[in-house]
Structure 1
Amino acid sequence: MQILFVTDIHSRTAGLDALPAADLVLVGGDVTQFGSTADVQRGLAALAERYPRQLAVLGNCDPPAAEAALEAAGVALHRRAVRLGDVAIAGLSGSNRTPFHTPYEWDDAAMAADLDRLAVPAAPGGLMVVSHAPPLGSGADRLPQGRHAGSAAVAAWVRRLRPTMVLCGHIHEARGQFDVDGIPVINPGALRQGHYALITLGDEAPRVEMGCLD
């Protein structure tokens, strides 16, 4: 199975036909740039033209009210875990608190409580976590001046669950492949700047290819 992971789209719809083919697209949030629910729906519809199978979380720049639209469309991953074939996928929308008071932020304590209640199905192919907020201290959360801006709740959850990999976004500048206690953490960078990751799942270890359209 090939999975395309995109995040931090920020309302970009141009050039999506140049993205690589995949069986499933996972969306890591910030579909819009402080847009409406209708804007979120338009952004996901643009991806669905090429990738009819999709699951999505929202980011801190998206409206929390859009979760209902994602649920109605059957693509919502926030505070959910689903099994697709041999793989389980769990997701978390929004981000921990920022200095900018963006629309979809919440406290790490509330995040931790919800994550502790999340039931994750067993899957022989392992678990993939999709979180807009990167784990604190992972490197995928490192700002240009060096400060780490990720979520402590996500980091603790990842250490407890030990998933196959974590897919995240939020910090555009922290593009790369990192790890938390040996668990791969992938921040492909913002699709707004053309960045994406293609994950290949098979009999061997998952393979991750980072790419850029621009």
Structure 2
Amino acid sequence: MNILCFSDLHRDQNAARNLVEMAEDADLVIGAGDFANQHQGLADTLDILCQIEKPACLVPGNGETVEELRRATQDWPTAFVLHGEGHTLSTSAGEAALWGVGGGIPVTPFGDWSYDFDEDCAREMLASCPSGGILVTHSPPIDTVDHDSSGRIRGSVSIRECILRCHPKLVVCGHIHSDWGKQVRLEDTLILNAGPLGTIIELD
């Protein structure tokens, strides 16, 4: 299964157009949050991305709420928004079991506009994540693809715990811009900080 993964478009229409083209070679599309900037401009990219006809899974970033993202994708029939829940998508290459949790985890220093959750709340949203599927989060697990420009780790303890418990095949995240495009493994799980340029992952 070829999976097109991206995150953190932040209203970048050129990046969105490029992803529409890349999606032609994908079986599944995953968007790991931050389509907007501080709750502004969701339509800038989603009005372009809705041309993608492949099954798509999206989670909110810390720049938009899950309610805002669901409203903005009403005209994108193949897209599913997940936040503290799972869904199995049928693709041309078979079924994909996904679980999604969005927002900034842990709480960011950005203030009231940021759509954030503390680690205890995140643990609740991740508690029913099944084993062996695909986990989509906006925030990365701690000490993986979460090093900011000063080298400080900024990821989530609860997401890392979920990975070690559930052993997903793939984790797609974003949020920490300085690690865009970076891939690491945590035991048998591939973790990708996707970024806006898009990366196609081939998954058995």
Residues 161 and 151 (structure 1), Cα distance of their counterparts in 2 relative to 1, 3 Å cut: same
Among 27, 32, 48, which residue is 1:23 paired with?
Answer: 27
Match of 1:98 in 2: 108
Match of 1:210 in 2: none
Contact 2:87 2:97 in 1 (8 A): yes
Among 104, 109, 130, which residue is 2:136 paired with?
Answer: 130
Contact 1:41 1:69 in 2 (8 A): no
Contact 2:32 2:138 in 1 (8 A): yes
The question of 1:151 aligning with 2:156 is answered: yes
Find the residue that maps to 1:75 and give its secondary structure. Answer: strand
Find the residue that maps to 2:116 and give its secondary structure. Answer: coil
* TM-score normalised by structure 2 residue count: 0.83
- Aligned pairs for 1:27-176 within 5 A: 27-36=31-40, 39-69=41-71, 75-84=80-89, 85-96=94-105, 97-101=107-111, 102-116=113-127, 118=128, 120=130, 126-138=132-144, 140-175=145-180, 176=182
The question of 1:180 aligning with 2:183 is answered: no
Residues 119 and 201 (structure 1), Cα distance of their counterparts in 2 relative to 1, 3 Å cut: closer
Give the CA RMSD over aligned residues: 2.2
Match of 1:208 in 2: none
Residue 151 of structure 1, CA deviation = 0.8
Contact 1:23 1:51 in 2 (8 A): no
Match of 1:14 in 2: 14
Residues 170 and 136 (structure 1), Cα distance of their counterparts in 2 relative to 1, 3 Å cut: same
Residue 81 of structure 1, CA deviation = 1.2
Residues 52-106 of structure 1 show CA distances to partners (whole Å, capped at 9, x for unaligned) of 5322101011134315426856621111211223321111110121111242111
Contact 1:112 1:153 in 2 (8 A): yes
Residue 18 of structure 1, CA deviation = 3.3
Identity, % of aligned pairs?
A: 28
Answer with 59-68 or 126-135: which moved more. 59-68
* TM-score normalised by structure 1 residue count: 0.79
Residue 50 of structure 1, CA deviation = 3.3
Contact 1:48 1:54 in 2 (8 A): no
